[in-house]
Structure 1
């Protein structure tokens, strides 16, 4: 099994600036031999493995859920996995690839080198494949459990679309790029943490392949952001600072409506549901998730000189994302 390496741990020479390195020999769409089919010994695997890491599903330890037994816990974990995969499919197609298009088609008000554009096209290809294998696995798991209540538009996608729709046209391309930057620098850390657990073999294989690609994507977006930040004027920087903060918050919100429906579908009583949602949706819980999960994003901002501006430093300190 290949060791998982955080993007920040890879040697600088591993990927040339504004490229995806030896993409032809590494991208999962080019090299993966996994079929991502559910294993024939699925029931046996579920005795020791999980559909989704328990550390991400702390609500499963609520006494009312534990009292319902392991079968219900497996179903709730499967519900969460299907939701995550459906969300991933939409994120890759509707958000990340739209963000990448701003680089590919010269929508940003900055020079895009041939190397930067080629890497963007490669990244676009990767994301299409990620959407494909996420959807394929989601359909399989949903079929096992008869999961039919799958939201057409997860909360996070709805919120990001609203944020982008309310952006003035003159800043729209920049906003799309910034949301993609936040997404790609967050997802690499998220996948790394998910892959630390022992999951059903096909789920583990898919998420590891996804992580291998996203480690590259995170570095690429961080480099392009650094380059782009240096080209922005003061008004654009002020706009970017606020949009970055707003989008980072959105990525750590809880989809309250979906989770409530998921819990109710498995017979969790209303008192327990209210307690679980109260804990997950509190301002402090959301902030804790944001601080724990946005390290790569904040590091990229720091390296770009973003926090050298007092306004940005104060903005993020006030929001609780960084310390003074």
Structure 2
């Protein structure tokens, strides 16, 4: 792969590329949380004033049909959303992020990496396995609370990411895996930041709080690695990668319409109303706005790496709606 840049001054050469005091701060090393829901009666009591998932973060909760529905309906939809998000997180951590991290650990990118960067990658890999574990455990409990049917279909975003990776050449695919991990970790850290707040059921709040503490470090790490790698890519590879980064960012704004239709139906929303809710979410303007908002940290990291110093890159991203012209 033609990865070397002709630049003689390369940003990022003096960074440390660590996860900080990982032994004492990582959830898998320092927390003793069981992530068990309280007894049913206590959960029901908490739901008088708390939510399973922040309503402001569930885009379709702004629709008049949902706004006018009963509290019981909104709680069920939020619980559905939480279970879906946690199951998606489990798959994302295992099949996407950790595969991305492997490209750093096992020298798949064809670029010499600092030793500290590889050690931190191994630590991050360990973190993500634990995140998958507690996400899976909590999803099971909430699903049992409502006796939810099993949803076996892979999340749409996972399917689209794997399809996108499947279109790459064997030579380019490791770099594409890294980009997917970079976008994923910078986006999920922002999502989790929005999810924290003591208006959630206690166990859910604790899980998100501890997950965020790890993901904030992961986001910083992936941002620093991106800043290290980007100037070391050839101009031709940078141009190809710019287009793929847009594709990846937009995948993370996709709505899983099949799952959402089933979720709305389970809460008693009629098919006609559900169709209108889904169509509003899929409108091009709404999708671009979601992508731009969720990828704010991603775009900032790219800016720090000098990505937008190239006119061609700025043009591509402004045409996509991700940045201003």
TM-score relative to the length of structure 1: 0.92
> 1:233-286: per-residue Cα shift (whole Å, max 9, x none)?
122111211111100001011111110111112221122111111111111111
Shift of 1:57: 2.3
1:129 corresponds to 2:130? yes
Which stretches in structure 1 are left out of the alignment for 5+ residues?
1-15
Task: Write the mapping of 1:207-218 to structure 2, written as runs, cut at 5 A.
Answer: 207-218=208-219
Task: Write the mapping of 1:145-224 to structure 2, written as runs, cut at 5 A.
Answer: 145-196=146-197, 198-224=199-225
Shift of 1:149: 3.4
- Structure 2 partner of 1:3: none
Shift of 1:128: 0.2
Contact 2:308/2:314 (CA < 8 Å) preserved in 1? yes
Runs (4+) of structure 1 exceeding 6 A deviation are none
> 1:67-119: per-residue Cα shift (whole Å, max 9, x none)?
65222221111111000000000000000000000000010111122111100
- Structure 1 partner of 2:145: 144
Measured in 1, the distance between the counterparts of 2:313 and 2:198 equals 36
- Structure 2 partner of 1:21: 20
Contact 1:51/1:78 (CA < 8 Å) preserved in 2? yes
Contact 1:53/1:197 (CA < 8 Å) preserved in 2? no
1:183–1:105 CA distance, 2 compared to 1 (3 A)? same
Measured in 2, the distance between the counterparts of 1:179 and 1:140 equals 30
> 1:53-77: per-residue Cα shift (whole Å, max 9, x none)?
1002243454544565222221111
Measured in 2, the distance between the counterparts of 1:62 and 1:204 equals 25
- Structure 1 partner of 2:118: 117
How many residues are treated as equivalent by the alignment?
Answer: 309
Secondary structure at the counterpart of residue 49 of structure 2: coil
Contact 1:93/1:128 (CA < 8 Å) preserved in 2? yes
Contact 1:18/1:224 (CA < 8 Å) preserved in 2? yes
1:271–1:107 CA distance, 2 compared to 1 (3 A)? same
Measured in 1, the distance between the counterparts of 2:36 and 2:51 equals 16
Deviates more, 1:269-278 or 1:182-191: 269-278
- Structure 2 partner of 1:89: 90
Contact 2:105/2:118 (CA < 8 Å) preserved in 1? yes
Measured in 2, the distance between the counterparts of 1:322 and 1:271 equals 35
Deviates more, 1:273-282 or 1:176-185: 273-282
> 1:207-239: per-residue Cα shift (whole Å, max 9, x none)?
111100000000100111111111101221112
Measured in 2, the distance between the counterparts of 1:178 and 1:265 equals 36
Task: Write the mapping of 1:1-324 to structure 2, written as runs, cut at 5 A.
Answer: 17-40=16-39, 41-60=42-61, 62-65=63-66, 69-196=70-197, 198-324=199-325
> 1:157-188: per-residue Cα shift (whole Å, max 9, x none)?
00000000001111000000000000011111
Deviates more, 1:216-225 or 1:32-41: 32-41
Secondary structure at the counterpart of residue 209 of structure 2: helix
Measured in 2, the distance between the counterparts of 1:264 and 1:128 equals 33
